[in-house]
Amino acid sequence: MKKILLVCSAGMSTSMLVKKMQETADKEGKDYEIEALALSEAETKIDDVNVILLGPQVRFQKAQVEKVANGKVPVDVIDMQQYGMMDGESVLKHAENLME
């Protein structure tokens, strides 16, 4: 099972996107666990995930998260347009590309 972590300032605004990503993964028969957490909680999950995607509102924290991840997992920012449209399919594809 692959694990994808979405991070935002409070962990709530990404929960809708998580739902759409999970629906896409399930529809495609992929065994993914997708979770959203607040930035303050993300540190505790670094060792348990395959990729970390930051919400656009916390993109300024990317360097800090990369430092904590210490090269163990890829870290990137979700495209603002995909985030705004809650495009779970595109964001899932982005996460998959990072995990390859």
Catalytic residues: 8
Burial of 81 (0-12, 13-18, 19+ CB in 10 A): exposed
The three-state secondary structure class of 45 is helix
Q: How much helix, strand and coil, in percent to the nearest 5, is found in the chain?
A: 55, 20, 25
